[in-house]
Amino acid sequence: MGGIEQRWLLVESQARQESDLKKLEKKIEQEKNSAQEKIRQLSRREFENRAVALAIAKGLSDSLKSHQLTEIKVNLIPPESQGSKLKSKDDLPSQSYQVQAKLELNLAAIERLKKRAGRFVLATNDLEKKRLSSEDILKKYKGQQAPERGFSFLKDPCFFADSVFLKSPHRIEVMAMLMGLCLLVYTIGQRQLRLSLKQQETGLKNPLGKLTDRPTLRWIFQCFQGIHLVRIQDNQKISNLTDERRNILRFFPKPCQEYYLLS
């Protein structure tokens, strides 16, 4: 590809196949509803040319992935049905046509889509199998999911990452380094929290109010919004540090607790 030799690996996953088939069923139903509405609109439309009407109907059929239009007919509208559209009695009615068609499943196309379910291709330009086996390719592919999930915060509006605009290549490099460092701290903090919960065989409430031993650090950040450091003369106090927030801090290292004046 592109003049570069590659080694391709075809992977078939049963778990992914089940997921793809469920998505396929949903897409088939969605296409059915959409196509039925388009057919209704098409059947109410009047055409002056039979060939144009037939071409539009066939174009609609060709655009469908899991359905097809059958028994396509282009009917001439009787002159008496056009009486109300004539400006005067002396006007001659023009020929108009309407499309009539049925919607059916395209079983051959659906079968092809089902055969593709659960299959995907991995490619590498490392042609040496001894250095990188097929099993290693699949392992490295699966290993990408962890950093990809971590960098998903770039799309999260809570972190305002999409509001940063930089032009200088140097500043872009610095920003990338800082974001990578922040992601590292975020991942370590989340891992430490989940490990502590697992060791103590307990959990924290998720956004739905149910206990979980795998909370996201993003949710913890949201739980700690509205906390302030209040200084009155020589005294310092943390405001809005509720019992629930104190309980969450129990599962973090001592430096985190000291930050909230708990130690």
* Residue labelled with tokens 């969605």: 30
In a domain, 45, yes or no: yes
Distance CA 81, CA 97 (A): 11
Q: Phi then psi for 114, rounded to 5 degrees? A: -65, -35
pLDDT of residue 170: 87
Distance CA 63, CA 78 (A): 30
In a domain, 13, yes or no: yes
In a domain, 188, yes or no: no
> Is residue 210 within 8 Å of 235, Cβ to Cβ?
no
In a domain, 202, yes or no: no
Q: Buried b vs exposed e over 9-39: b needs ≥16 C-beta within 10 Å?
A: eeeeeeeeeeebeeebeeebeebeeebeeeb
Q: Which range marks the domain in which residue 105 is found?
A: 7-116
In a domain, 199, yes or no: no
Amino acid of residue 223: C
Per-residue pLDDT of the chain (263 residues; tens, 9 = 90+): 667 888 898 888 899 999 999 999 999 999 999 999 999 999 999 998 999 999 999 999 999 999 999 999 999 988 766 555 555 555 555 788 999 999 999 999 999 999 999 998 998 888 888 888 888 888 888 887 766 676 666 666 666 665 667 778 888 888 888 888 888 888 899 999 999 999 999 999 999 989 999 999 989 999 999 999 898 888 888 899 999 999 999 999 888 888 887 76
| Domains of the chain: total | 1
In a domain, 95, yes or no: yes
Distance CA 73, CA 198 (A): 67
Distance CA 109, CA 28 (A): 11
Q: Which pTM does this prediction carry?
A: 0.55
Distance CA 69, CA 35 (A): 9
| H-assigned helices in 45-153 | 50-63, 107-116, 134-143, 145-150
In a domain, 230, yes or no: no
Distance CA 221, CA 223 (A): 5
β-partners of residue 231 are 236
Please name which of 217, 214, 174 lies closest in space to residue 194, comparing C-alpha atoms: 214
CA distances 262 to 37, 128, 217, 259, Å, are 63, 57, 20, 7
